[in-house]
A and B are shown apart, each in its own frame.
Chain A
Amino acid sequence: MSDSEVEFESADEGSQGGDGWEIESDFDLPDVKPLSVESKLIGPTLSALSNVSDKVNTEQNFKRENENTKQSEKNDASSAVAMAQSKLDKLVVNNDNCTQPGPKVSEVVQNEIKQTNTQGWGGWSSGWSVNSLLSTASALTNQVSQGITNVIGAPAPEQLASVDKDKEIKDLKEPKVNDELTEESSESILDTNYFLSNVSQITKIVETTGSKIISGGLDTLETVGKKTLEVLQDGDPGLRKKRAIFFQNTEKINLSQVLQEAKEKAEVESKQNNQVEIRKGYAYLLDSFQGLIHLESLELLSKQCQMKLQTVLLSYSGTQLTDIQDKLDQIKDLCYLDYDDDEKIMTIEEFKNSLITCINQISTDVKIEKILRVSHLIDEKSNKEFDSEDSIHDEAISALAELTAAAMELFYKLGEMIMIDTQNQLVTVKAEKLSLLNESVCCRIRFIANKYASLLTKYDADGTSNNISDVYLESSNSSSYIQDAAQLLIPILQLSVI
């Protein structure tokens, strides 16, 4: 191995240092509904709570029916409650002394998590990992709720009572209990006659016990939650990687996908119509001018940056976080176009000057020769003689698609350069210039559309043809694709300030 190879390898290592990059290269994650995860996580809380309150209700009813019969019954109920709570506590803290559901739950959790880890969040198969996280989550929640149900619902009252009755009575009698409500309950137990005559008092006690169960249950669930989070965070502090995966799924469907589908649909349709030559629609032309592939790549970069951004944001808190978010919002605002003047057009000279200004402020590594050449050729073509109305229409659509594709390529290249550019002090300037660039291309699109529309008018004096509206339609589509593409640069810019 030569020296240079050693250098090469170490440089390579450096570039992939533990910065969470790996996970972000997995951009093609299948769509997962983050909400379903949330609801699964919340689910057990609710069901456990309802278990608890069911139990309380049952006890209350039971109590009311039998209130004047036996005090021991009440003791049974409260001891059952206390038993349930202590079992819950054991379950939660994963106490070694606890024999039943506690260890089961935590074992299952850890096994599942282990599986998840071996599948690797950073590997190619994030789709898998997401699924496995989901199944882990659901398995975990099933186990937890099952465990809680078992503990609260299963043991026979008399069994619980025989075990803990003595202890329970002692507890209740203890005067040092500082809870006011508990004191009331202990008083009532001391005086049986008073107890029997005071119906409202006993209901209150049951209620108190009920609320104790609920608050105990909540504590329990909180501890369960904490433990769960702890296990989930094992090897993934702050759940960054896992969150990153869910964040990106909240995004809307990719524009490139939509365009791709439009293109394919058009192809299939024209094939079905048995056309010898497929009419080259806008989406098809955009693709053949490499517009779609650049858009797709820009989406990829944008997603990566978005995920990285979320990861970075998770490491901040308090005022620091607010400051950063303000900064990010500022950049975002700068990138949005003002629609003050949607009639504005640019001549080819103005367009060129505007582009040069923009590029010089963003990245001189990016070449604008291509888009200028395309723009120039389009201009030349629009000045030639046309032999038919349809040929003007086709030329117009092609021109719009070609300029849009060139813009996509330019935006993509700018995205790449912004991403690797380490000089970030000018990021607000870059954002402003990107917005200007965006506007310039849209002005140019409008110019082209106007020009072809006026050519078409000569052929179509009575306005019966759809050609003109077709040209304007694609022109407005072009503008919105360009604006959407420009907005994909926002996370890339934002990331460069952090």
Chain B
Amino acid sequence: MADLMFDYQFRLILIGDSTVGKSSLLKFFNDGKFVEVSDPTVGVDFFARTIQIPSGPRIKLQLWDTAGQERFRSITKSYYRNSVGALLIYDITKRASFDHIPVWMNDAKRHIEPHRPVFVLVGCKLDLVNNGASKREVTEEEAKQFGAEHNIFTVETSAKTGSNVELAFSAITQEIYQRIKSGEYQMEEGWDGIKSGYSHHSASIDFNNYIEAEPAKSCC
């Protein structure tokens, strides 16, 4: 259950090949637990979590976990449009899943247009490489190079140990917030990528007054 108080809501979408670990990543981020066996995602699943940007606003992340399976593609595509950011997920032990990343990225770009989505590139299953259970098929350098070319943040994670999971989500959230501050992103009627939260229902100036006025009992 997400907290009630938040300043903004961002909608993020997780995309990538089937079985790369999108749902596991999200489950860990959401519950802090790793699920050993999970069914393939049917269509799109939803999660929500509120995070606090250090000395910044509280952000409710509405996370859309998409099915990687081809048969769901027509459904998952509908969810791109109302997203402000996309986590591009690949499996570091599976070359093909990394090779497909440009396809996923272009798909997202095309559907989120004219908004410029924030991407992060997330490699999954770092634990399998670290404990020697699987061979690494994508090097960290390759991923970094891809990130540098497209100017996106890259990170390798493990949903089993929880390593870097938090970082992946906070990085994309920070970047979106930066773009709001710079004025690139604005809340728009008819676009659900970014929404203002509960504490924005009253204009921010009123909200500040309200906080200040409270001790003096002058409010209401």
Which of B2, B103, B107, B114 contacts A124, CB < 8 Å? B114
Per-position binary interface string of chain B over residues 52-89, scored 1 when its CB falls under 8 Å from any chain A CB and 0 otherwise: 00000000001000000011111101110110000000
- B100 part of interface (Cβ distance < 8 Å): yes
- B4 part of interface (Cβ distance < 8 Å): yes
- A267 contacts B95, CB within 8 Å? no
Per-position binary interface string of chain B over residues 162-196, scored 1 when its CB falls under 8 Å from any chain A CB and 0 otherwise: 00000000000000000000000000011110000
Measured CB to CB, the closest approach of chain A to B29, in angstroms, equals: 16
Measured CB to CB, the closest approach of chain B to A9, in angstroms, equals: 6
- B71 contacts A420, CB within 8 Å? yes
- A2 contacts B96, CB within 8 Å? yes
- B114 contacts A416, CB within 8 Å? no
Per-position binary interface string of chain A over residues 1-24, scored 1 when its CB falls under 8 Å from any chain B CB and 0 otherwise: 110110011011001100001000
- B148 part of interface (Cβ distance < 8 Å): no
Q: What is the chain A residue whose CB lies nearest that of B220?
A: A274
Within 8 A of A (CB), among B190-208: 190-192, 198, 201-202
- A74 part of interface (Cβ distance < 8 Å): no
Stretch at the interface among A288-296, A325-333, A382-390: A288-296
Cα A2 to Cα B190 in complex, Å, equals 39
- A2 contacts B99, CB within 8 Å? yes
- B44 contacts A297, CB within 8 Å? yes
- B37 part of interface (Cβ distance < 8 Å): no
Q: What is the chain B residue whose CB lies nearest that of A15?
A: B73
Within 8 A of B (CB), among A291-346: 293-294, 297, 300-301, 304
- A267 contacts B111, CB within 8 Å? no
Measured CB to CB, the closest approach of chain A to B61, in angstroms, equals: 13
- B1 part of interface (Cβ distance < 8 Å): yes
Which of B72, B77, B198 contacts A25, CB < 8 Å? B77
**B201 CB contacts on chain A under 8 angstroms:** 264, 267-268, 271
Cα A256 to Cα B48 in complex, Å, equals 17
Per-position binary interface string of chain A over residues 400-425, scored 1 when its CB falls under 8 Å from any chain B CB and 0 otherwise: 00000000000011001101100000
**B74 CB contacts on chain A under 8 angstroms:** 15-16, 21, 419-420
- B35 part of interface (Cβ distance < 8 Å): no
- A5 contacts B100, CB within 8 Å? yes
Measured CB to CB, the closest approach of chain B to A16, in angstroms, equals: 8
Per-position binary interface string of chain A over residues 263-282, scored 1 when its CB falls under 8 Å from any chain B CB and 0 otherwise: 01001100110100010000
Measured CB to CB, the closest approach of chain B to A373, in angstroms, equals: 15
- A365 part of interface (Cβ distance < 8 Å): yes
**A304 CB contacts on chain B under 8 angstroms:** 78
Measured CB to CB, the closest approach of chain B to A31, in angstroms, equals: 10
For this complex, into which size category does the number of interface residues on chain B fall? Answer: 35 or more
- A267 contacts B99, CB within 8 Å? no
- B103 contacts A12, CB within 8 Å? yes
**A9 CB contacts on chain B under 8 angstroms:** 103
Q: What is the chain B residue whose CB lies nearest that of A2?
A: B99
Within 8 A of B (CB), among A7-51: 8-9, 11-12, 15-16, 21, 25-30
Per-position binary interface string of chain B over residues 14-50, scored 1 when its CB falls under 8 Å from any chain A CB and 0 otherwise: 0000000000000000000000000100111010100
Measured CB to CB, the closest approach of chain A to B12, in angstroms, equals: 13
- A225 part of interface (Cβ distance < 8 Å): no
- B113 part of interface (Cβ distance < 8 Å): yes
Cα A300 to Cα B96 in complex, Å, equals 32
Do A12 and B107 contact each other (CB < 8 Å), given the known contacts A28-B190, A293-B46, A367-B39?
yes
Q: Is the interface of A mostly helix, strand, loop or mixed?
A: helix
Measured CB to CB, the closest approach of chain B to A273, in angstroms, equals: 8
- A368 part of interface (Cβ distance < 8 Å): no
- B75 contacts A301, CB within 8 Å? yes
Measured CB to CB, the closest approach of chain A to B214, in angstroms, equals: 8
Cα A5 to Cα B44 in complex, Å, equals 23
Do A28 and B191 contact each other (CB < 8 Å), given the known contacts A2-B96, A8-B100, A264-B201?
yes
Cα A218 to Cα B77 in complex, Å, equals 47
- B72 contacts A27, CB within 8 Å? no
Q: What is the chain B residue whose CB lies nearest that of A363?
A: B42
- B216 part of interface (Cβ distance < 8 Å): no
**B81 CB contacts on chain A under 8 angstroms:** 25-28, 124
Which of B75, B77, B95 contacts A420, CB < 8 Å? B75
Cα A267 to Cα B198 in complex, Å, equals 8
- B75 contacts A290, CB within 8 Å? no
- B133 part of interface (Cβ distance < 8 Å): no
Q: What is the chain B residue whose CB lies nearest that of A265?
A: B201
- B46 contacts A416, CB within 8 Å? no
Measured CB to CB, the closest approach of chain A to B112, in angstroms, equals: 8
Do A288 and B2 contact each other (CB < 8 Å), given the known contacts A274-B220, A416-B72?
yes
- A4 contacts B96, CB within 8 Å? yes
Cα A294 to Cα B47 in complex, Å, equals 11
Cα A4 to Cα B79 in complex, Å, equals 25
Which of A1, A29, A268, A272 contacts B99, CB < 8 Å? A1
28 cross-chain CB contacts under 8 A: A2-B95, A4-B96, A4-B100, A5-B103, A8-B103, A11-B70, A12-B73, A15-B73, A21-B77, A28-B82, A28-B192, A30-B190, A264-B198, A268-B201, A268-B202, A274-B219, A290-B46, A293-B62, A300-B78, A301-B78, A366-B42, A413-B43, A416-B75, A419-B74, A420-B71, A420-B72, A420-B74, A420-B75
- 4 smallest beta-carbon distances between A and B, as pairs: A416-B43, A4-B96, A288-B1, A15-B73
- Which residues of A pack against B, CB within 8 Å? 1-2, 4-5, 8-9, 11-12, 15-16, 21, 25-30, 123-125, 127, 264, 267-268, 271-272, 274, 278, 284, 288-290, 293-294, 297, 300-301, 304, 365-367, 412-413, 416-417, 419-420
- Which residues of B pack against A, CB within 8 Å? 1-2, 4, 39, 42-44, 46, 48, 62, 70-75, 77-79, 81-82, 95-96, 99-100, 103, 107, 111-114, 189-192, 198, 201-202, 219-220
Beyond known contacts A2-B95, A264-B198, A267-B198: 12 more, CB 8 A cutoff: A8-B100, A12-B73, A16-B74, A25-B81, A28-B190, A28-B192, A124-B81, A124-B114, A272-B220, A289-B1, A297-B79, A416-B44
